[in-house]
Structure 1
Amino acid sequence: MAKILTRLKQQFSDKKTWLALVAGLVLTFAYAPFGAWPLAFFSIAVLCYCSYQAPVKQAAWYGFIFAIGWFAAGISWVHVSIAQFGGMPLPASIAIMALLVAYLALYPALALALTAFIHKHSGAWLAPLLISFAFSEWLRGTLLTGFPWLSLGYTQTDSPVNILAPMVGEFGLSVLVLAVGYGLYRLFCAKVWQPLVATLATGALVAALATVFNYNQYSGKQLNVALVQGNIKQSMRWQPENFWPTMLKYQDMTRLHWDADLVVWPEAAIPELEQLAGEYLTSLDKAAVFNDTALITGIVDYQYDTRNVYNTLVVVGKKQRDSSAGQYRYLHKNRYRKHQLLPIGEFVPFEDLLRPLAPLFDLPMSSFSRGERVQDNLIANGYHILAAICYEIAFPDLVRDNYRSDSDILFTVSNDAWFGDSHGPHQHMQISRMRALELQRPLVRVTNTGVTGVYDPISQSQLSLAQFDADVLRADVRLISGDSLYAQYGRWPTWLALLCLLGLSLYYSRRVKKSA
């Protein structure tokens, strides 16, 4: 123990440790709602300054301490749900938050350790950094069901380089942030300009290709949509005495908007179990058909025979525009079941052990079953709807796997009341907009308390409701045709480019060693 304390004292007497920590903290301001996207490049430049050519253990330390600042500030909103709704004492909630941040910090630590290791044996540094960081971020989004929140590329959602998103996605933008950050470090600290120029030239070339191979354009069709934000307090959502008042509120808020082509309600807007809400859903189905429209709502489906419980989206009203009949019946196929479940919130690992420990591990509706990974698009009033529920929108491969060429809109629902008036809901909307940029499909996002809005990835314009207001947003959504390159090929072109760069870098470094 004494050795550990001595080692920590030595580490924190190192100025680079504090620089790395501050750089990680500052990185938060590059994300929504702050939007200071250039800070991402300078934060990475500072990280490169701290870790460039450092020994393996020291590089891992700088990566770890940088990520402590990055995630402690960036996902501080998680503490709101733990402390306010998890029923945990303050010291326990802080401890859980600290464990989560420390766990997430292991991935950048791994990236910098791999970079230093490869550099030690090859002499190359930038290419190992890019591929090691890309690999560690892939791991972070995969292991233990994944937590890909706050990937670097999201900082560029509103920057000029977002023109690259339809080609390389958020994954490629993360690589760009790393490369530009390294280039800035080399320019400022070593007066070496070639890495930055090469990165900017490559980015410009990809941007030119994005313009040439832009297969997306407005189709000439548009969809009038009504987004209903109920603003139901989280403390009231699962109280049985509030079920009918909540359902009647959504029904009353919709009454003046049945003339929309599509009406959308948030995640679990209907708090009653689907089997018990059959009469209510049938009534909605008839009202939608009478008004020549369709409605999509979130609801929980508990199947008494199998005891499976699904976080579900169901469509009521017209399936096709030329239909004159409703479609709703229990377990009809025009539905979407959430696949990517939120740990603790929707399923509890080792639940027999954890559930008795604290209310946090025994929240209402925390025993969901997984839907299939790939499901058919919803069809509502003739429109094909690519659906994602809440946390799923942060998983680009999952969303892309469910994309189809005839998908008209990207539709996502959420209940961000868990996170209060924090920056979490704004980050969630930013992530959703990045998915729209990648796939070049208009985004329709409806939530319980906000941020509810629509986003056009071509004009990059957004309409939103104010948070914490019960209101309805009416919008005309211009539909888009064509498949983006990212929609067709995903991350593979970026992975291939990284592997080629690594191979060339290792070959060049070896030749330099031989000629020395």
Structure 2
Amino acid sequence: MSDSAVVEPGVGTNLGREAGIAHPVKARARRGPVTRLRQAGPALAASLRTSSGRLAWARLLLAGVSGYVLHLAFPGIGIWPLAPVGVAGLAVATRGVSGRFGALLGFVFGLVFFLRLIPWIGIYVGALPWVALSITEALYVAAMGALLPRVWRARGGLPGLLLASGGLWVAQEAVRGRWPFGGFPWGRLAFSQSDAPTAPLASIGGAPLVSFAVAVAGTLLAWAVVKAGPVLRSRAVRQLALPALGVALALAVMGLGTLIPLPTEGDSTTRVAAVQGNVPRAGLDFNSQRRAVLDNHVNATMQLAQKVATGEAEPPDVVLWPENASDIDPYINADAAAEISAATDAIGVPILIGAVVQGPGDYVSNTGIVWRPDEGAGTGDDSTYVKRHPAPFGEYMPYRDFFRLFSSKVDLISKDFVSGDKLRDNPVGVMRMGTEGQVRVGDVICFEVAYDSLVRDSVKAGATMLAVQTNNATFGYTDESVQQLAQSQLRAIESGRTVVNISTVGVSGIILPDGTVVARSGHYTQDVLEATVPLRTELTIATRVGEWPEWILTALALGLVLGTALSRREKTS
């Protein structure tokens, strides 16, 4: 293959194109891919120093501001209408630029967004993991940014533009949520919409359809801005009808979910009590007083039993404890087992406890165990669940020797957690609870709530309600807990199930199948949440169709982008 290529027109060589500026003079030179790669960095830097580079700096600033605006839509701040505004800003910034510059814009957008969204990653372990994860996540947005300029040239006019842009957002989130190490889905557009009118769309197409709707609405806003530019410059205000139409369509897309009915009742009801026992202190050493954490949950349950005995509280059918409620293995520690049994016998119904269990071998297991009155710890698939997706760098350390070169904190994880997938043929945890085993609780532990397939597996296996057992003590007084609670809200709508998000320290919540939070705790308090909730067996459309909406939207978007690229190549050949 010869070392030749066509150089795009611009300031000098291809600099104007990198800055998003067209040049009327065409030039050709013979340069190969290696030469282009070597010159890309200096060429881009030079373009930013030229007069045309001033527009490039404006685009970079717009991308960064848009990333910041998007983070404001997520819980903690929670201004959900800003999600499509953030998407619109990136779309406008990438219009008319090259793929390389689009990738840079996407990276800037993603870096600002994730640095502001997940600072809790480094709250007790320093800035390195927070910054490293933010950079890694931003690279996915950079890959999307490289393709966004092409969506403005997609076939099919405005519908083609919307499908390509929305589908690229879905594709980016799909890959980011799966790879590497099982992915990190935090920051999906859908997770900003748990209280928005777009949320009911999750019952039809899951989180991917909600993200798609937000991205489409944002692209419509961007299209309106582009159409309004010439009109405002010419002061022909009467011609603002087209931009106004774009804004109106964006609002309509964001409101589509209001047309979707959501269930509020079920086949039966059950009384649930969720115990948030609290911990002695926040931080990585929250479990240094492991017995105190266990005692807190035992005592809170005993107090509930006393209230039931005196008629101050209704007797529950199901009691749920959070992840890490017992970091003392109750299978091998008789004192811990006796404490749990005392609480279970006092309340008179099964308790789902979260425990750290030793084994197999040198591993440990993040386990949900159904503990029954007068029986103790249950066994089998309907009484135990081992977390299927341990968090990399949080519960196990991949490539430990390599990452130790960057930080000695890797050895804070002294033992790796094992995946439940490796322990049994049927790892999905659907627990039989209630006085007669009539309540089928699907167990989801901590970050697993962010993964579509893990939640869907529990529902398809027969869960009539979901329990999200979590421990937020390692993230301090940050927005991590409310971000996770919002994900549980979306899962309730998506699955048509009651979801109980129970944390050691809060924020905990009991959520109805329509996403309504009927009971909610504070942060770092001891509390017991109680509610009578519906149990449902009917599957939502989203549960039935599974991953198909995600793959179809991704395939259509990539097809449009690829078709546009091939069409341009044919015209220039």
Same structural fold, with TM-score higher than 0.5 when normalized by the shorter chain: yes
Select between 289-298 and 137-146 the one with higher mean Cα deviation.
289-298
Q: How big is the shift at 1:270?
A: 0.9
2:86 is equivalent to residue 38 of structure 1: no
Take 2:267 and 2:379, find their aligned partners in 1: how far apart are those partners? 35
CA offset digits 1:168-191 (Å, max 9, x no partner) = 222111111111111112123304
For the pair 1:245 / 2:292, whether they are aligned, the reply is yes
Cα 1:44–1:357 change in 2 (3 A) is closer
| Separation in structure 2 between the aligned mates of residue 385 and residue 65 of structure 1, nearest angstrom | 42
> Residues of 2 paired with 1:358 and 1:30: CA distance?
33
In structure 2, how many angstroms separate the alpha carbons of the residues matched to 1:67 and 1:7?
24
Q: Does 1:340 align with 2:389?
A: yes
**What is aligned with 1:228?**
276
Residue identity matched to 1:105? A
2:193 maps to 1:156: yes
Cα distance, 1:489 vs. partner?
A: 1.1
1:484 maps to 540
**Partner of 1:21 in structure 2?**
64
* Structure-2 residue corresponding to 1:51: 94
Answer with 242-251 or 442-451: which moved more.
242-251
Partner Cα separation in structure 2 for residue 480 and residue 231 of structure 1: 34
Q: Look up the match of 2:202.
A: 165
- Equivalent residue runs for 1:68-467 within 5 Å: 68-83=111-126, 93=127, 95-117=128-150, 125-144=161-180, 145-191=182-228, 192-193=242-243, 208=259, 210-211=260-261, 217-233=265-281, 234=283, 236-239=285-288, 242-258=289-305, 259-281=315-337, 284-285=340-341, 288-289=344-345, 291-303=347-359, 306-317=361-372, 326=375, 328=377, 334-355=383-404, 358-364=407-413, 366-372=415-421, 374-381=427-434, 382=437, 383-404=439-460, 406-458=462-514, 460-467=516-523
How far apart in 1 are the matches of 2:276 and 2:134? 35
CA–CA distance in 1 between the matches of 2:517 and 2:318? Answer: 20
Deviates more, 1:258-267 or 1:441-450: 258-267
- Preserved contact between residue 57 and residue 113 of structure 1 (Cα < 8 Å): yes
Partners of 1:101 and 1:276 lie apart in 2 by 40
Note the aligned Cα RMSD (angstroms).
3.4
Question: Could you tell me how far apart the structure 2 residues matched to 1:41 and 1:397 are?
Answer: 26
Q: 3-state DSSP class of the match of 1:14?
A: helix
The TM-score with structure 1 as length reference comes to 0.85
Equivalent residues of 2:164, 2:558 under 8 A apart: yes
Code of the residue aligned with 2:45 in structure 1: it is T
| Structure 1 residues 27 and 121: CA distance shift in structure 2, 3 A | closer
Q: Give the drift of 1:224.
A: 3.0
Asked if the contact 2:273/2:528 (under 8 Å) is kept, the reply is no
Q: Which residue of 2 aligns with 1:493?
A: 549
Letter in 2 for 1:334: S
Any stretches of 5+ residues in structure 1 without a counterpart?
84-92, 319-324
Q: 1:215 to 1:287 in 2, by over 3 A?
A: closer
Letter in 1 for 2:384: R
Deviation at 1:472, TM superposition (A): 2.2
Q: What corresponds to 2:45 in structure 1?
A: 6
Output the CA distance in 2 between the equivalents of 1:299 and 1:8.
Answer: 57
Alignment partners' CA distance in 1, 2:172 and 2:415 = 29
Q: How far does residue 128 in structure 1 lie from its aligned partner after superposition? A: 2.6
What's the CA shift string for 1:356-380, capped at 9, x where partnerless? 8644211246511111284140112
Distance 2:63 2:381 in 1: 53
Q: In structure 2, what is the Cα distance between the partners aligned to 1:332 and 1:461?
A: 30
> Distance between the aligned counterparts of 1:511 and 1:244, measured in 2?
67
Q: Is the 8 A contact 2:328 2:336 kept in 1?
A: no
Normalised by the length of structure 2, the TM-score is 0.77
- Deviation of the 1:438 alpha carbon: 0.7
How far does the alpha carbon of each residue in 1:178-218 deviate from its partner, in whole angstroms, 9 at most, with x for none? Answer: 1111111212330445666666666777764x33xx67743
Q: Once structures 1 and 2 are overlaid, which stretch shifts more, 454-463 or 104-113?
A: 454-463
Distance 1:186 1:356, change over 3 A: closer
Shifted more, 334-343 versus 495-504: the winner is 495-504
Task: Work out whether residues 78 and 192 of structure 2, in 8 Å CA contact, stay in contact via their aligned partners in 1.
Answer: yes
Contact in 1 for aligned 2:298/2:343 (Cα 8 Å): no
Letter in 2 for 1:253: A
Label 1:179 to 1:141 Cα distance change in 2 as closer, same or farther (>3 A): same
Aligned residue type for 1:407: A
Contact 1:228 1:266 in 2 (8 A): yes
Rg comparison, structure with higher value: 2
Instruction: Report the number of matched residues.
Output: 493
Residue range with higher mean Cα deviation, 151-160 or 327-336: 327-336
SS at match of 2:113: helix
Shift of 1:78: 1.4
Residues 509 and 363 of structure 1, relative CA distance in 2, 3 Å threshold? closer
Checking the alignment, whether the CA contact within 8 Å between 2:493 and 2:515 is kept in structure 1 is no
Give me the whole-angstrom Cα distance separating, in 1, the residues matched to 2:129 and 2:567: 49
Corresponding residue for residue 89 of structure 1: none
The match for 2:103 is 60
